[in-house]
Structure 1
Amino acid sequence: MPSDTALLQQRIHVLYSDHQGWLQAWLRKKLGCHHRAQDLTHDTFVRLLGARLPRELEEPRAYLTTVARHVLFNHQRRQKLEQAWLAELAQLPPATVPSVEERAIVLETLLAIDALLQGLSTRARQAFLLSQLDGLGYADIAQELGVSVSRVRQYMAQALARCYAAL
């Protein structure tokens, strides 16, 4: 009797065989780039390997589209963050520009922080970043965000709870 992992892999193989071309074409229309569509199609199926597929997929293309949208959204978020990082680097004096390795480490760290804070409200993320990156105190953050200090404490508690859970 095949294991659960083997059954999952077999189901994903069937999904891939039946719908990979269609999904890639769908992504190509969204992205306008054949190569990026290939990459995100691959990423979608890799994500399925770590997912719990429903027993029966009555609408496999709808399911794949939903997963692919999440992959596409994450890809676009990553691109925005990367572009913001590159814009900041462009403003640095040439003598202070970090090495390629340092830039890659910082970018991966930024992406990890972004993923960690993703479930927070915009204000909670802003409060956490103002505290941790800009070194602002709670009163200054409250003034910056137009909220009370107690609300900033709540935001920080939410953000720190996420950080603690990630450890």
Structure 2
Amino acid sequence: MRWLRAKLQCADHAADLAQDTFVRLLTAPPEGRQTMREPRAYLTTVAQRLLIDHYRRLSLEQAWLETLAQQPDLLMQSPEERLMVREALQRIDAMLDGLPPLVRNAFLLAHVDGLSYGEIARRLAVSERSIKRYMVQAFERCILLIL
């Protein structure tokens, strides 16, 4: 808790992440908990990963708020719509985070930039067949996270 408080400069956020850390410990498979030799190191590792996720969510949220600020008033969304979009962005971010860099780049170039597989292959200096494999890998990850 003290370590998290020092990193976050906020006792409330530190308490939340400490609780999440222990929830992860309690929901870990029992055989993993029984063989744990360094519980303090394990807790620190889990807390560090949760801290990284916390900062990633903050960064994503800040980018979304900046995008919203640039929209004309007529296009402003309701708070419910904003929450739905923010949650969708967090799910997409989690999905992309688990992909290898080339797979992630191929997926983003196809779905954000709208490039064809051939254009993506030229840009990433790989074969078009590799791009097809990358896209299958990305879609499999999407499906697994949805289920």
1:30 paired with 2:7, answer yes
TM-score for both structures, normalised by structure 1: 0.76
1:87 paired residue number: 66
1:69 paired with 2:69, answer no
Map Cα deviations across residues 73-95 of structure 1 (whole Å, 9 max, x no partner).
11111111111111211111121
Structure 1 residues 11-160: aligned runs within 5 Å: 24-52=1-29, 53-55=32-34, 57-160=36-139
**Counterpart-to-counterpart distance in 2, 1:90 and 1:60:** 45
TM-score for both structures, normalised by structure 2: 0.85
Query: Secondary structure in 1 aligned to 2:33?
Result: coil
Q: Tell me how large the CA RMSD over aligned residues is.
A: 1.9
Could you tell me which runs of 5 or more consecutive residues in structure 2 were left unpaired when the two chains were aligned: none
C-alpha deviation, 1:142, in angstroms? 2.7
**Counterpart-to-counterpart distance in 1, 2:53 and 2:68:** 22
In our comparison, the structure showing a higher alpha carbon Rg is 1
Q: Percent identity?
A: 52
Query: Secondary structure in 2 aligned to 1:120?
Result: coil
Could you tell me which runs of 5 or more consecutive residues in structure 1 were left unpaired when the two chains were aligned: 1-23
